[in-house]
């Protein structure tokens, strides 16, 4: 399994299991089965509301000798309601308690968006706070303190633009990861170049187009990656599924990728995709598909009267 190597020589497998939309009652079995199949990278988040069940799977896997803690990479994320410096460490400690772990390998700021503490589903401008009120630098100080306290070995961000990353390059700890939506229709080539230059790693979420996301986030006319002619042609040439081809594409670019599944057969198929090698010509053909198309465009953060817009969210 290919991996990222960090400055302290920690290694993160490029292929991992995403757990967004993995429901309680399913995620325990999915994580345990994935670990049995050889997955060694599990991506979590407090807002997924399933970390306690994932923690039960970890405990069972450790106790049965399926995997040792030191051989497993676990990522989680700070939710938008906990951005104040004094909230960061308690939020991480809650995640550790739910996951039954003593430390995380990687902790990310989930979004560059601040919601007032206690608000589960923001509906009005009053439910938000601006980045002027709670700047990323304050949140990042709390994240840095978590590293020094031994609560997490690495810290990073998610859904951050190049502009926002540039503003963090002089921090004591520069973000070590940016987890963003990436797939052939949203290739993020400028971000890939920027992060390579500054030794920031990239993880692709929604690499298959997030086909099972909540109905309210689905657009009526959005493109289907599984039906793209180039994707189906190249997947046929490799005798693999479009899903496997999309996973392989991400790893062949040198990025990490975290497809989600709770189905044992698909878990195995996804894992097998990590060993598919694409030719230079095939990678160039897929490169032409880029349309800067986001399946998760961030519209859910745009509420009349608050400070967030699509323009200042993505800085594009």
Instruction: Look at residue 1 in the predicted model and tell me its pLDDT.
Output: 79
What is the residue whose two structure tokens read 């493109």? 223
Report how far apart, in Å, the C-alpha atoms of 303 and of each of 108, 124, 129, 200, 271 are.
Answer: 24, 6, 12, 31, 39
The contacts of residue 17 (CB under 8 Å, 6+ apart) are 30, 31, 34, 39, 41, 42, 43, 258, 259, 260, 261, 267
205 is catalytic: no
Going along the chain from its start, the domains and CATH numbers come out as 3-219+253-262+290-314 (3.20.20.100)
The token pair at 112 is 């560059």
Asked if 185 and 293 count as a contact pair (C-beta separation under 8 A), the reply is yes
Instruction: Look at residue 290 in the predicted model and tell me its pLDDT.
Output: 97
- Bridge-partner residues for 17, per DSSP? 42
Nearest to 67, CA basis, from 76, 57, 75: 57
Task: Compute and round to an integer the Cα radius of gyration of the chain.
Answer: 19
Alpha-carbon span 139 to 112, nearest angstrom: 10
Question: Is 85 exposed, middle or buried (CB count within 10 Å of its CB: 0-12, 13-18, 19+)?
Answer: middle
Q: Which residues of the chain have pLDDT under 50?
A: none
Alpha-carbon span 78 to 88, nearest angstrom: 7
Exactly one of 4, 48, 107, 308 is catalytic; which is it? 48
In terms of C-beta distances under 8 Å and separation of at least 24 residues, what long-range contacts does 10-13 make, across chains too? 10/105, 10/153, 10/154, 11/73, 12/41, 12/73, 12/105, 12/106, 12/201, 12/256, 13/40, 13/41, 13/73, 13/256
Asked if 68 and 99 count as a contact pair (C-beta separation under 8 A), the reply is no
Pairing of strands 17-18, 11-13: unpaired
Asked if 82 and 115 count as a contact pair (C-beta separation under 8 A), the reply is no
Tell me the whole-structure pTM to 2 decimals: 0.96
Instruction: Look at residue 219 in the predicted model and tell me its pLDDT.
Output: 82
The token pair at 238 is 């490799």
Instruction: Look at residue 160 in the predicted model and tell me its pLDDT.
Output: 98
Q: What is the DSSP letter of 254?
A: T
Instruction: Look at residue 228 in the predicted model and tell me its pLDDT.
Output: 96
Instruction: Look at residue 24 in the predicted model and tell me its pLDDT.
Output: 78
Length reported for the chain: 316
DSSP states of 182-203 as a string? -BTTB--HHHHHHHHHTT-EEE
């Amino acid at each position: 399994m290919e991996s990222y190597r960090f400055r302290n020589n920690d290694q993160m497998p490029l292929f991992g299991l995403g757990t967004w939309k993995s429901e309680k009652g399913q995620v325990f079995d999915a994580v345990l089965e994935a670990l049995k199949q050889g997955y060694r990278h599990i991506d979590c988040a407090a807002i997924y509301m399933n970390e306690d069940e994932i923690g039960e799977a970890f405990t069972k896997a450790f106790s049965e000798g399926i995997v040792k803690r030191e051989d497993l990479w676990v990522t989680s994320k700070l939710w938008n309601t906990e951005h104040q410096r004094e909230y960061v460490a308690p939020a991480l400690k809650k995640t550790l308690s739910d996951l039954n772990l003593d430390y995380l390998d990687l902790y990310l700021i989930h979004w560059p968006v601040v919601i007032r503490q206690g608000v589960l589903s923001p509906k009005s401008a009053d439910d938000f706070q601006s980045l002027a009120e709670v700047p990323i630098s304050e949140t990042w100080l709390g994240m840095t303190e978590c590293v020094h306290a031994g609560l997490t070995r690495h810290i990073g961000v998610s859904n951050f633009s190049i502009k926002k990353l540039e503003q963090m390059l002089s921090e004591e700890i520069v973000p070590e990861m940016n987890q963003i939506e990436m797939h052939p229709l949203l290739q993020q080539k400028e971000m890939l170049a920027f992060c390579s230059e500054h030794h920031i790693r990239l993880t692709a979420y929604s690499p298959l187009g997030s086909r099972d996301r909540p109905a309210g986030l689905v657009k009526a006319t959005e493109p289907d990656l599984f039906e793209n002619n180039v994707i189906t042609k190249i997947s046929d040439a490799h005798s693999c599924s479009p899903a496997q081809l999309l996973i392989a594409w991400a790893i062949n670019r040198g990025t990490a990728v975290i497809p989600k599944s709770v189905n044992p057969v698909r878990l195995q198929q996804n894992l097998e995709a990590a060993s598919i090698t694409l030719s230079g010509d095939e990678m160039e053909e897929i490169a032409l598909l880029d349309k800067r198309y986001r399946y998760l465009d961030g519209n859910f953060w745009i509420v009349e009267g608050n400070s967030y817009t699509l323009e200042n969210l993505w800085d594009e």
